[in-house]
C-alpha cells in the first residue's frame, strides 16, 4: 500500500523569506500523481500544485514550486517570498494512475509566517 | 453546483445517536471520496466511489460507519451509535474521473459527539 510521510509537523518562516516543506512517499507504481494542498483555518482544502510522475520537469505555480525526485520518492514544496496568507496546514498527497485511484494524504505540516 | 456542497456544516449529537452527513458533488464528477480529519490531524481515508464500480470501503473504521451514493451523485455517510471518538471534521471530495487528476473538496461537516 502507498504511504505518504511529512516529517515536519510544524515550521516557521519569516515573511518574504523562502521555506521548503518535505514530503516522501512509498509506492511500487511507476505512474501516479502528487499534490500539495493547503488548508487554512477556514478548513477549505485548496490545491496548491500538482505533478505528474511521468513528467521530469518540476511543476511551478507562481511563488510555489516543487522539487520532484522520482528515484528518491521525494516531493518537496518550496514557497518563495512567503506571505502572511500562506499560513496554513499543508498536505502532501499521492494518487495512483491505476484502477483504484484513491488519494492518500500525509499528516500535514503547519506553516507559520512570522511578520 | 459550483462546488462540492456538504451538510450540515456543524452537528452536535449525543453519544449513541445516529447521524447522517450529506455530500453533493460537482455535477458530472464520477469519483467521490469521504475523509475524516480529527483535530489537528491529517486526512484519514474512509470510502471512495468511482462511477458504477463497487466502492472502496477499506478505510471505514468500524461497522458503525456506512456510506451510499444514490444515482451516481449525492452521497450520505451514516454513523450509527456515535461515540466521542467519532468527533471530527468529515470532508467530502469529488473528481471528474479516473484520468483527471484534480479533486475538489467541500468545506466539511464538523461533528461533535457529547
Q: What is the pLDDT of residues B40-95, one digit of tens each?
A: 778 999 999 988 888 999 999 999 999 999 887 999 999 999 999 999 999 999 98
What confidence tens digit (pLDDT) does each residue in A5-53 have?
Answer: 999 999 999 999 999 999 999 999 888 999 999 999 888 899 999 999 9
Of A44, A50, A107, the CB nearest to B105: A44
Q: Does B52 touch chain A (CB under 8 A)?
A: no
> How much is the pLDDT for A35?
94
CB contact under 8 A, B35 and A100: no
- Which of the four pLDDT bands, split at 50, 70 and 90, describes residue B100? low
Q: Does B91 touch chain A (CB under 8 A)?
A: yes
Whether A4 shows a pLDDT value over 80: the answer reads yes
- Which of the four pLDDT bands, split at 50, 70 and 90, describes residue A2? confident
C-alpha to C-alpha distance for B109 and B111, rounded to whole angstroms: 6
CB contact under 8 A, B107 and A50: no
Whether B101 shows a pLDDT value over 90: the answer reads no
Q: Which are the contacts of A7, defined by CB distance < 8 A and separation ≥ 6?
A: A22, A24
3-state SS of B13-74 is ECCCCCEEEEEECCCCCCEEEEEEECCCCCCEEEEEEECCCCCECCCCCCCCEEEEEHHHCC
Give the distance from residue A91's alpha carbon to the nearest chain B alpha carbon, in angstroms: 8
Phi, psi of A39 (to 5 degrees): -125, 100
Phi, psi of A79 (to 5 degrees): -115, 120
C-alpha to C-alpha distance for A113 and B62, rounded to whole angstroms: 39
> How much is the pLDDT for B98?
58
Cell reading at A13: 518562516
Cell reading at B20: 447522517
What confidence tens digit (pLDDT) does each residue in A59-74 have?
Answer: 999 999 999 999 999 9
Residue A28 — left, alpha, or beta (φ > 0 → left; ψ -120 to 50 → alpha)? Answer: alpha
What confidence tens digit (pLDDT) does each residue in B5-49 have?
Answer: 999 999 999 999 999 999 999 998 888 999 999 887 789 999 999
Q: Which are the contacts of A87, defined by CB distance < 8 A and separation ≥ 6?
A: A40, A111, A112, A113
Reference A80, options A68, A67, A64, A59; nearest CA is A64
> How much is the pLDDT for A101?
72
> How much is the pLDDT for B50?
87
Average pLDDT, chain A: 93
> How much is the pLDDT for A99?
64
Whether A81 shows a pLDDT value over 80: the answer reads yes
Reference A83, options A39, A17, A9; nearest CA is A17
CB contact under 8 A, B45 and A103: yes
The DSSP bridge pattern shows strands B88-95 and B65-69 to be: unpaired
Q: Identify the bridge partners of residue A93 per DSSP, sorted by sequence position.
A: A35, A105
Amino acid at each position: 500500500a502507498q504511504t505518504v510521510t511529512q516529517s515536519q509537523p510544524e515550521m516557521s518562516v519569516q515573511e518574504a523569506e523562502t521555506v521548503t516543506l518535505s514530503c516522501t512517499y512509498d509506492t511500487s507504481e511507476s505512474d501516479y500523481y502528487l499534490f500539495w494542498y493547503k488548508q487554512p483555518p477556514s478548513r477549505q482544502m485548496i490545491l496548491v500544485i500538482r505533478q505528474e510522475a511521468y513528467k521530469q520537469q518540476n511543476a511551478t505555480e507562481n511563488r510555489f514550486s516543487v522539487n520532484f525526485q522520482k528515484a528518491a520518492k521525494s516531493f518537496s514544496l518550496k514557497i518563495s517570498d512567503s506571505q502572511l496568507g500562506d499560513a496554513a496546514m499543508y498536505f502532501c498527497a499521492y494518487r495512483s494512475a491505476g484502477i483504484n485511484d484513491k488519494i492518500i494524504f500525509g499528516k500535514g505540516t503547519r506553516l507559520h509566517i512570522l511578520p | 453546483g459550483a462546488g462540492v456542497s456538504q451538510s450540515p456544516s456543524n452537528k452536535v449529537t449525543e453519544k449513541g445517536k445516529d447521524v447522517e452527513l450529506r455530500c453533493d458533488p460537482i455535477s458530472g464528477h464520477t469519483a467521490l471520496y469521504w475523509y475524516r480529519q480529527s483535530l489537528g490531524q491529517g486526512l484519514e481515508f474512509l470510502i471512495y466511489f468511482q462511477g458504477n464500480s463497487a466502492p472502496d470501503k477499506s478505510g471505514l473504521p468500524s461497522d458503525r460507519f456506512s456510506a451510499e451514493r444514490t444515482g451516481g451523485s449525492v452521497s450520505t455517510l451514516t454513523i450509527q451509535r456515535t461515540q466521542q471518538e467519532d468527533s471530527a471534521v468529515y470532508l467530502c471530495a469529488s473528481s471528474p474521473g479516473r484520468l483527471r487528476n484534480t479533486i475538489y473538496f467541500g468545506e466539511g461537516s464538523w461533528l461533535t459527539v457529547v
